[in-house]
Amino acid sequence: MKKVLAILIVILMVFGWVVSISGLTVGNLEIRPLQDLIRLGLDLKGGVYVVLEAETNLKDKALRDLMNQTQQVVERRVNSMGLSEPNVTIEGDNRIRVELPGVKNSAEAIVAIGQTAQLQFMDYRGNVILTGSEVKDARLSYDPEHPSRPVVSLEFTSEGAKAFKDATTRTSQVILPPQSDSTYMEKVAEKTIFIVLDNEVISNPIGEVAITNGQAVIQGSFTVDEAANLAALIRGGALPVNLKEVQSSEIGATLGQDSLYLSVLAGAIGMGIIILFMLVYYKVLGISAGIGLLLYTLLVAWIMVAFKAVLTLPGIAGIILSIGMAVDANVIIFERIKEELANGKTIRVSIKSGFQRAMTTILDSNITTIIAGVVLYYFGSGPVRGFAVTLIIGILVSMFTAVLITRLYIHVISDIKALNKKSFYGIKEVKV
């Protein structure tokens, strides 16, 4: 039974590696190779990222709401650029990180995101009455009095509606003197509401009547397209806050590919040397460590895919290091088995008690590391979090492969009569 399971696992593992490297197509089912499935960070794929800081004094919940809104707006903008897998995340309290894989020129990208389209309604003194965030909806419609003239009709949120009501009540009370009067122009300005998009006045309607229903119309000499675009920009693109570039980085695609290729090569060579080392040092026991390690690497890679984790350069280095550390449990178990063998016990008994004694050590040492990992995840940010996830995945998988899988294979190997000699376990036969 154990033998069947052992053979089955090896077959599945080899199959898994083949699929991971070259992919598989059976009928309609297509599994793409690992390198297409795993999400690569910008440092490996090449591309641009920008971190933008919101210029605001808001705090706590108000700030969080603002950032969520901003994130949505930026996301819509970035998505409309037609890139593959752009990524917009909130970083820290008041920053937005925009990652644009495959983009070559960061200047262009930043300009594209930076079309901030900040919409403001102002009075003649430049006081802001309301901003784009208080616009619930904006759409193209036609002036009821001149049906051929396109306008943008706006609907405000309840706060926006109130602010707009107050402002239009004020303007409606301004009485215009005769045109010949010297204060005429001044009074006209006082009666006007300025609609400003990105510091540019796009419309300056006169507030004749107090508007209380939370709806307004931007009139101007628009074409239909212009009005539709403006509506879309206000609807989707009105950033509730001004964003300042605090960090940006562009990585050329060549550098990224080189890094990826070299790191994977390093990992493969490292794994090869480690397996060789285990075989030379622990003889037949090393076989089970080798199988465990091959399975470990395969599982970690696919778990990364399943969790949609993003693989970065330090991440790869971490995984390769974890390959070196994953055999730790093997080493602890094997050393214990060798000790028991050296004490004159039979192979079967040595394996049993070696495992038992090694287990407490392995559990305690790994649980302590997991505690560190979990804490780092909860209290860390950005790169620290990514590292913590890799650490926890690595430990859990290595407990599975180095303990359960190794145990299975050691039992199967110890049942093989031809290998039933202590010298195969790296122990010189001692005459007692």
Partner 1 sequence: MKLQIIKYTKIWYLISIVVIVVGLGAGLLGGFNPGIDFSGGSMIHIDMEQKIDLNKLQETIEEFELDESIITVGKDNTEIMIKTSKPLSNEERTEIFNKVAGEYNLEYDNLLAADQFSASVGEEIQKKAVIAVIIASVGILIYITIRFEIKFAVAAIIALLHDVLVMIAFYGLFRIPINSSFIAAILVIVGYSINDTIVIFDRIRENAHHYKKNRMEELVDTSINQSLTRSINTSLTALIAVLCVFILGVESIREFTLPIIAGLIAGTYSSIFIASPIWYQLTNLSNKPHYVGK
**Calpha distance 31→22 (Å, rounded):** 9
**Calpha distance 169→136 (Å, rounded):** 21
Look up residue 205 and give its two tokens: 């309607």
| 376 CB-near residues (< 8 Å, 6+ apart) | 384, 385, 387, 388, 391
User: At residue 36, what is the residue type?
Assistant: D
Pattern 17-56, partner 1, x by CB under 8 A:
--------------------------x-------x-----
Closest CB 273 distance from partner 1, rounded Å: 5
Closest CB 201 distance from partner 1, rounded Å: 26
**Calpha distance 375→97 (Å, rounded):** 24
Least Cα distance to 23 among 10, 13, 37 occurs for 37
**Calpha distance 325→271 (Å, rounded):** 11
Closest CB 26 distance from partner 1, rounded Å: 35
Ranges of beta strands (E only) in 165-315 are 194-197, 200-203, 215-218, 243-251, 310-311
Look up residue 396 and give its two tokens: 């859990």
Q: Token pair 């039992």 is at which residue?
A: 411
Q: Count of residues for the chain?
A: 432
Cα dihedral 385→77→74→215 (10° resolution): -150
Least Cα distance to 373 among 385, 363, 359 occurs for 385
**Calpha distance 139→164 (Å, rounded):** 18
CB under 8 A: which stretch of 60-68, 218-226, 299-307, 378-386 binds partner 1?
378-386
**Calpha distance 48→97 (Å, rounded):** 11
Q: Return the residue of 128, 255, 280, 349 that touches partner 1, per CB under 8 A.
A: 255
Please identify, using beta-carbon distances, which residue of 195 and 337 lies nearer to partner 1.
337
Touching partner 1, residues 173-202 (CB under 8 A): none
Q: Return the residue of 120, 263, 406, 414 that touches partner 1, per CB under 8 A.
A: 263
Please identify, using beta-carbon distances, which residue of 43 and 134 lies nearer to partner 1.
43
Touching partner 1, residues 299-328 (CB under 8 A): 313-314, 316-318, 320-321, 323-325, 327-328
Query: Rounded to 5 degrees, what are φ and ψ at 115?
Result: -70, 80
Please identify, using beta-carbon distances, which residue of 130 and 320 lies nearer to partner 1.
320
Q: Return the residue of 332, 341, 393, 410 that touches partner 1, per CB under 8 A.
A: 332
Closest CB 333 distance from partner 1, rounded Å: 10
Say if residue 26 is exposed, middle or buried (CB neighbours under 10 Å; 0-12, 13-18, 19+). exposed
Q: Is 81 in the site for partner 1 (CB under 8 A)?
A: no
Q: Return the residue of 37, 339, 396, 419 that touches partner 1, per CB under 8 A.
A: 339
Q: Is 344 in the site for partner 1 (CB under 8 A)?
A: no
Cross-strand partners of 24: 31
Please identify, using beta-carbon distances, which residue of 226 and 328 lies nearer to partner 1.
328
Q: Is 368 in the site for partner 1 (CB under 8 A)?
A: yes
Pairing relationship of beta strands 47-54 and 29-31 according to DSSP bridges: unpaired
Q: Return the residue of 364, 421, 423, 430 that touches partner 1, per CB under 8 A.
A: 364
CB under 8 A: which stretch of 3-11, 68-76, 367-375, 401-409 binds partner 1?
367-375
Closest CB 429 distance from partner 1, rounded Å: 20
Closest CB 198 distance from partner 1, rounded Å: 18
Please work out the total of residues on this chain that contact partner 1, with binding judged by CB under 8 A: 75
Q: Is 252 in the site for partner 1 (CB under 8 A)?
A: yes
Closest CB 234 distance from partner 1, rounded Å: 27
Look up residue 51 and give its two tokens: 């971190």
Q: Return the residue of 21, 176, 371, 416 that touches partner 1, per CB under 8 A.
A: 371
Pattern 85-114, partner 1, x by CB under 8 A:
-------x--x--------xxxx--x----
